[in-house]
């Protein structure tokens, strides 16, 4: 039941993120990537404060030693997750300026390959069906997102680096989410990501409050929905989901982006794109099948016979 709940929350995360690329692109019509991300992350952190207040009222206080350890883990995890998120989101915002949205979606989804590879160095064993799913999802995402000849430009390199940082972020969330409250961890990561982005904004850009106010629509959508809701659901969902499988489920982001463009904007979907959607969905379903449990049951039945 917990595994199903985690998969459902991560699927909702992918749905939210898949509809956010347009808002991210529109948000930079007036703002630089660092200013946009700074404001977005601070609003996301503020938006979660009421939820934290309500949760704390309902929860009994922990003993003092446990509370001290909890705060240390929470703030340390929030700082590390926030730094990884801040670097990844800034690299993505820079890359979107110099590449197509479709290619950015595909290159960002490379974390489906990077996460299990990084997991090997952390001694996180990945089952063969998951590796097969990773390969299928990578092919499906390519068919879905890449329409022209595949070349690597400067914007593409930024997005590839962004995918590597998102992979680190997924592994950090896997490390800290079971130890602390997910909403509190999410709030702190936005706070630290906002600090990181704002420092860069004042170093290399010229933040202007008038431009921020004129960009309120994309900022609020990405802050409250894509960040506040999406990343919080990611943290809650990853509590019960291995990181390699979580990255596969979240790769549905590219599928939902294509489907929303088709349903809401009337953008047609070619046979190639439809095949890509089908492959990604198939990969996610394959990764959810408990082959180990099925084999164990089959052996138990044979022994019983």
Q: What is the pLDDT of residue 148?
A: 62
- Is position 16 within any domain? yes
The Cβ of residue 22 has, within 10 Å, a number of other Cβ atoms equal to 16
Segments in 205-251 forming alpha helices (H): 209-214, 216-220, 232-238, 243-250
Q: What angle do CA 76, 162, 225 make, to 5 degrees?
A: 70
> Helices H, strands E: what count in the chain?
16, 0
- Is position 179 within any domain? yes
- Is position 183 within any domain? yes
- Is position 298 within any domain? no
Residue-wise pLDDT tens digits, 148-176: 666 667 777 888 899 899 989 989 998 99
| The token pair that represents 58 in the structure block | 């309902």
- Is position 194 within any domain? yes
Residue 129's SS3 state is helix
Q: What is the pLDDT of residue 93?
A: 83
The Cβ of residue 142 has, within 10 Å, a number of other Cβ atoms equal to 16
Q: What is the pLDDT of residue 266?
A: 63
* Locus of tokens 């609003």: 43
Residue-wise pLDDT tens digits, 127-147: 787 788 878 878 877 776 666
Q: What is the pLDDT of residue 172?
A: 93
In sequence order, what are the residues at sequence separation of 6 or more whose Cβ sits closer than 8 angstroms to the Cβ of residue 17?
226, 230, 250, 253, 256
- Is position 295 within any domain? no
Choose among 116, 110, 120: nearest CA to 130: 116
| The token pair that represents 8 in the structure block | 């459902």
Q: What is the pLDDT of residue 103?
A: 66
- Is position 300 within any domain? no
Low-confidence ranges of the chain (pLDDT < 50): 62-65, 294-302, 305
- Residue-range definition of the domain harbouring residue 184: 2-59+70-289
For 225, which DSSP code? I
Number of domains in the chain: 1
In sequence order, what are the residues at sequence separation of 6 or more whose Cβ sits closer than 8 angstroms to the Cβ of residue 64?
none
Q: What is d(CA 290, CA 298) in angstroms, rounded to the nearest whole number?
A: 12
Q: What is the pLDDT of residue 294?
A: 42
- Is position 17 within any domain? yes
Q: What is d(CA 241, CA 229) in angstroms, rounded to the nearest whole number?
A: 18
Q: What is the pLDDT of residue 63?
A: 46
């Amino acid at each position: 039941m917990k595994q199903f709940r985690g998969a459902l929350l991560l699927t909702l995360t992918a749905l939210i993120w898949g509809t956010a690329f347009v808002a991210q692109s529109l948000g930079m019509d007036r703002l630089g990537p660092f200013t946009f991300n700074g404001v977005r992350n601070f609003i996301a952190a503020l938006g979660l404060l009421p939820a934290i207040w309500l949760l704390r009222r309902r929860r009994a206080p922990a003993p003092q030693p446990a509370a001290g350890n909890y705060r240390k883990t929470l703030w340390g995890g929030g700082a590390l997750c926030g730094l990884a998120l801040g670097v990844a989101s800034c690299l993505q915002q820079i890359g979107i300026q110099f590449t197509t949205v479709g290619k950015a979606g595909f290159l960002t989804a490379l974390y489906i390959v990077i996460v299990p590879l990084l997991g090997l160095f952390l001694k996180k064993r990945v089952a063969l069906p998951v590796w097969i799913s990773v390969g299928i999802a990578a092919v499906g995402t390519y068919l879905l997102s890449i329409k022209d000849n595949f070349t690597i430009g400067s914007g593409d390199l930024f997005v590839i680096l962004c995918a590597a940082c998102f992979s680190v972020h997924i592994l950090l969330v896997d490390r800290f989410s079971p130890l602390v409250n997910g909403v509190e961890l999410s709030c702190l990561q936005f706070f630290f990501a906002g600090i990181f982005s704002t420092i860069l904004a004042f170093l290399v850009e010229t933040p202007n409050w008038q431009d921020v106010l004129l960009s309120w629509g994309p900022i609020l959508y990405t802050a409250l929905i894509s960040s506040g809701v999406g990343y919080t659901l990611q943290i809650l969902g990853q509590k019960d989901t291995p990181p390699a499988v979580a990255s596969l489920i979240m790769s549905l982001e590219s599928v939902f982006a294509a489907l929303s463009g088709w349903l809401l904007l009337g953008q047609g979907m070619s046979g190639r794109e439809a095949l890509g959607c089908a492959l990604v969905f198939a990969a996610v379903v394959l990764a959810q099948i408990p082959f180990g449990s099925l084999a164990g049951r089959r052996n138990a039945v044979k022994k019983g016979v």
